[in-house]
Chains A and B, each alone.
Chain A
Amino acid sequence: MATEVLWWIFAGGIVGASLGVVFSGSVIHSAIFLILSLCGVGAMYALLMVEFLALVQFLIYGGAVTVLILLALKLTRMGSGEKINGRQAPVGAAVALALMAVLISVAVRTSWPGDVSDRPANIAMDLISQKLFLDFGAPFVIASVLLLVALVGAIILARQEDE
């Protein structure tokens, strides 16, 4: 019961913050709403009892990604009189609404196999680490190489060239 109340509070918070991200008129306000929304999703992972991913979500999204985004916003300061939405915004809203209707109807109408209203099982940290290192060792190493390449590439792209 308490879990359900918490779930609805967090779900409302996530949807409200996401509305703030896409509808707020100020870029900085959007970024701060984004932090709220990402932390709300982290709380959802905690409610699903996947501790490892909840921690990763808070650290990487709540910390690193939003700091990067705020930094980029500061570095690319826009004039105050600029329009924040393009002319195509009403079409985008129509597409998004249609997509939402389709996705929700699919999610509600499909009869999922298994007992989907049962209490979810805890996905413990040691289970995830066993899976990650024993069964998914090669993808894990490739992902680390990807991160390294992205890091070097970002530095090369953003470097100041004094010629």
Chain B
Amino acid sequence: MVPLENYLVLSAILFSLGVYGVLARRNAVLILMSVELMLNAVSLNFIAFSVYLDPDRILGAIFAVFVITVAAAEVGLALAIVIRLFRNRATSNVDEAAILKW
């Protein structure tokens, strides 16, 4: 069977790729996609821990349900903000929307 460390290393790689995407990309939607990668790495970690170390209480699996819920809400709101930004400024690049007023 696959040991726990494999899951942890896989989710570390996923999380780091997400961090790179958030730091390097300019388009707000691409940044959001990288955030999704990071959230998925976190859920994978939660579930791997709950399966291997805590199979009776399964707190990790429950927490992953809430992570997915919050991620769905976050995606909806963030895309509404991006569409709003695009309508007002005709751009969806975060470095062109750096001033805090319209």
Q: Could you list which residues of chain A lie within 8 angstroms of chain B, going by C-beta atoms?
A: 3-4, 7, 11, 14-15, 18-19, 21-22, 27, 30-31, 34, 37-38, 41, 44-45, 47-50, 52-53, 56-57, 60-61, 64-65, 68-69, 71-73, 75-76, 78, 82-86, 88-89, 91-93, 95-97, 99-100, 103-104, 107-108, 112-114, 116-121, 123, 127-128, 131-132, 135-136, 139, 143, 146-147, 149-151, 153-155, 157-158
What A residues does B77 contact at CB under 8 A?
A: 150, 153-154, 157
Q: Given A68-B79, A123-B61, A128-B61, is A107 in contact with B25 using a C-beta cutoff of 8 Å? A: no
Number of residues from B at the complex interface, CB < 8 A? 70
- Contact A50–B51 (Cβ < 8 Å): yes
B41 smallest CB distance to A (angstroms): 8
Interface of chain A: mostly helix, strand, loop or mixed: helix
Partner of A22, one of B26, B34, B81: B34
* Those of B9-63 within 8 Å (CB) of chain A: 9-10, 12-27, 29-30, 32-34, 36-37, 40, 43-44, 47-48, 50-53, 55, 57-58, 61-62
A107 smallest CB distance to B (angstroms): 4
What A residues does B86 contact at CB under 8 A?
A: 75-76
Q: Given A96-B16, A103-B15, A112-B4, is A60 in contact with B68 using a C-beta cutoff of 8 Å? A: yes
- Contact A116–B3 (Cβ < 8 Å): yes
- Contact A132–B65 (Cβ < 8 Å): yes
Partner of B21, one of A22, A45, A56, A114: A22
Report how far A96 CA is from B16 CA in the complex, Å.
5
A131 smallest CB distance to B (angstroms): 5
What A residues does B79 contact at CB under 8 A?
A: 68-69, 71-72, 154, 158
- Contact B47–A18 (Cβ < 8 Å): no
- Contact A154–B93 (Cβ < 8 Å): no
* Those of B81-102 within 8 Å (CB) of chain A: 81-84, 86, 92-93, 95
What B residues does A49 contact at CB under 8 A?
A: 51
- Contact A153–B80 (Cβ < 8 Å): yes
